[in-house]
Amino acid sequence: MVMVMVGEGVGFQDLPEGCIANVVSLTIPRDACSLALVSSTFRSAAESDSVWDRFLPSDYNDIVSQSTSFSCRSKKQLYLSLCENPILVDDGKKSFQLDKAYGKKCYMLSPRMLSIV
Amino acid sequence: MELLCIRQWISGLLPTWLSAWCIKPVGGALVRQEPEYILLALMGSPLKKIMLCSSEKEIFSVEEQVMVQHSVIINNMIEDGSYNHEESKIPLDCVDSKTLKKVIDYCTHHTHHHNDNQEDLEAWDAQFLNVDSNGLYDLLMAANYLEIRNLLDLIYGTIKNMIKGKKIDEIRRIFNIKDHGFTPEEEEQNRKEYPHFY
C-alpha cells in the first residue's frame, strides 16, 4: 500500500479533467456517482463517456443490439438504462440487466431454458 | 549507423541458442541481457545516451533505450529523427529538475530490473511514491506529458486509493478544492439528496 502525505498547498486542484477521468474509471460505478459531487470538474470527468465505457461490459454492443428500444445520449445513460430496464436477449429466453453498484451482468432464465435431468 | 540498426544487424547474425547464455549481474541478481547489448559492450561501444533538459535548464544524461522503452513522446522523437544525438537536448519546460530526476530513476530502474519478481518491483514502486502530494502531482504531470504509461497507471492507482471510501468533504480537502464550482442551490440539493456521501 502506497502512503502519500497530504499537506498544504497541494496542486491537485489543477488536475486536468482527463486525469481525473482516468482515476474515476479505476473505481466502481457507485463511487463514480459520488465523485461527481466533489466539484464541477469532477462531475464532468465522472460523467464522461470514457469512464462509463469502462464500466459497461465489453460485449454491451452485442447485448444492446438485441433490443430495439435503445437510444441513449451518453454511456452513463446507457449504463443506468441497462440497470433499470432488463432487456430480453437470446431470442427471449433470457433477460439481462446490470447490477447498479458494481456493473456485474445479471441474467434471468426463462422456464423454457430449464429442464429436469 | 543508429543503435536500432546495429541491434537489428547483430540480432540477425546471432544464433537463437546464444540468448540463453547471455546473463549478467544486475543489482545482485543474474538477469538475462539481450545478446546484442553484450556484444556492443564487448566491442567497446557505449550505450547511446540522450540529453534531457529540465525547466531549470539542468541537463540530465540518460540511456536512450531507457527513455525510449518508457516514454512514447521520446520514442517518437528518436524514431522520426527529430532528435540529433550530436547536437540536441530535449527541452522539458514543464518538468522541474527534482521531478525529472525521479522520472529518470523510475524508467532506469524498470528497464534494468524488468526481470525482478513482482513483489520486489511493487515494493520499490511503493518506496518511489513515498512523496508528499505536491511531489505526486508533479510526477503525474510529468508522466502525462512524457506519456509514460506504467508510471501513469501507478500514480492513478495511488490516487484512487487515496480517495476510496472517503466522504466528499474529505476528498475536497485532499485535493485542496476550495471552490467546488456548484451554485449554492446545487450544493444544497446534492447534500439533501445524498447526505451519506458527505
ipTM of the complex: 0.73
Cβ-Cβ contacts under 8 Å, B164 against chain A? 27, 31
Residue B13 falls inside a structural domain:
yes
Cβ-defined contact of A1 to B126 (cutoff 8 Å): yes
- Higher pLDDT among residues B146 and A114, named by residue: B146
Residue B25 falls inside a structural domain:
yes
Residue B193 falls inside a structural domain:
no
Q: Say which range, A34-48, B12-26, B92-106, has the weakest mean pLDDT.
A: B12-26
pTM metric for this prediction: 0.73
**Distance between CA atoms of B151 and A61, rounded to whole angstroms?**
32
Residue B24 falls inside a structural domain:
yes
Residue B11 falls inside a structural domain:
yes
**Residue range(s) defining the domain that contains residue B24:** 2-42
Residue B33 falls inside a structural domain:
yes
Cβ-nearest to B134 among A10, A22, A27: A10
Question: pLDDT tens across A60-110, in order?
Answer: 888 777 776 667 788 888 888 888 888 877 777 788 888 888 888 888 887
Mean predicted confidence (pLDDT) in B182-197:
93
Cβ-nearest to A34 among B168, B173, B175: B168
A96 φ, ψ to 5°?
-125, 140
Counting the structural domains of chain B, the total is: 1
**Distance between CA atoms of A97 and A88, rounded to whole angstroms?**
9
Residues whose CB is less than 8 angstroms from the CB of residue B178 and which lie 6 or more positions away in sequence, other chains included: A13
Cβ-Cβ contacts under 8 Å, A2 against chain B? 125-126, 129-130, 158, 161
Q: For residue B157, what is its C-alpha cell?
A: 492507482
Mean predicted confidence (pLDDT) in B35-64:
76
